[in-house]
Amino acid sequence: FYLHNIQAAHKAGCKVQMYGCGIGPVLREQHRKLAASVLNANVDVITLREPDSLKELQSMGVTKPEILLTADPALTLPAASEDEIDSVLLRAGIPPHGKYLCFALRNWKGFEDKAPLFSQAAKYAYETYGLTPVFAAVEKHLDPVAGRLAAAGLDIPHYFLDDAGSAGTIIGALSRMQAVVSMRLHALIFAAGQGIPLAGVVYDPKVSAFLRYIGQENFLDLDALTADALKAMIDRMVSSPISPEEQAAAVQKLRQIEQVNVDTARRLLGK
């Protein structure tokens, strides 16, 4: 589907920019060869959101387009106003200014077996640090199922934020959290932009790739997750997080780099 769009755009005489992309994993050898062939023949510039994607393109043999390392455009999205954030939380029955640990999860292969670990971690964070769990959906049609699985049997106060609205209000809701445990890449991107301590649960290499790009190593693969490991990640977030100043500086640097996406599009348009 994506390769056909690229070919069609090139055939129609358009300039083609792949804009702030993450690449892969592309696993089958014939798919890797096909992707390299189409990209080499039809793309002018590829701007990438992290270094792992650059390595993946090089490994595929993509050499013809200009390739630039930039950052994810989602880093530039602003939070909604304080009143809008309050409204989103209140509609979900969540007091707007509590002490919260957010879980942004998705129902991926193997998740159901691991779901009870998040419940154990939520209870640990509540009893140890006084953080009330909020199970937030980034994708409102898919993620609530994961939140319910993770919260099954939980006997402490907890909340579900199944529909946080637009990107701005999702960012705003995450800004009210004391820490975020996330499988969802964009929850990590949004929380990082607000200076919130992070822990990643990696179901796809793009999650660890982003965290490494901002200097974060507090993540673990979903397959390797244990209750103790999840509790240890929460300890690191709460007890000795990366300083908000360091995280803000890393994100600000990426926001400046992201401007290259825009500048490249302008250049291709002759602006």
pLDDT digits (tens, 9 = 90+) for 88-141: 999 999 999 999 999 999 999 999 999 999 999 999 999 999 999 999 999 999
Question: Model confidence at 244, in pLDDT bands (50, 70, 90)?
Answer: low
Confidence check: pLDDT of 241 > 80: no
Domain 82-251 adopts which CATH fold? Rossmann fold (3.40.50)
- Binned at pLDDT 50, 70 and 90, residue 8 comes out as very high
Phi, psi of 221 (to 5 degrees): -65, 145
User: For residue 246, is pLDDT > 80?
Assistant: no
- Predicted confidence at residue 121, as pLDDT, reads 98
More confident residue, 251 or 199: 199
Q: How confident is the model at residue 63 (pLDDT cuts 50, 70, 90)?
A: very high
The reported pLDDT for the residue numbered 109 is 95
pLDDT digits (tens, 9 = 90+) for 66-75: 999 999 999 8
The domain locations on the chain are 2-69, 82-251
At 253 the pLDDT is 85
Residue 173 Cα distances to 14, 82, 139, 179, angstroms: 39, 10, 14, 12
User: Would you place residue 61 in the very low, low, confident or very high pLDDT band (cuts 50, 70, 90)?
Assistant: very high
Given this model, what pLDDT does residue 251 score? Answer: 81
What's the 3-state SS for 65-125?
Answer: CEEEECCCHHHHCCCCCHHHHHHHHHHCCCCCCCCEEEEECCCCCCHHHHHHHHHHHHHHH
Token couple for 103: 């879980």
Tokens at residue 222, please?
Answer: 């979903």
Rounded CA-CA distance 258/250 in Å is: 12
Query: What pLDDT was estimated at residue 215?
Result: 86
Read off the pLDDT band of 185 (50, 70, 90). very high
Mean pLDDT score across all residues of the chain:
95
- Residue 195 pLDDT: 84
- What is the model's pLDDT at position 80? 97
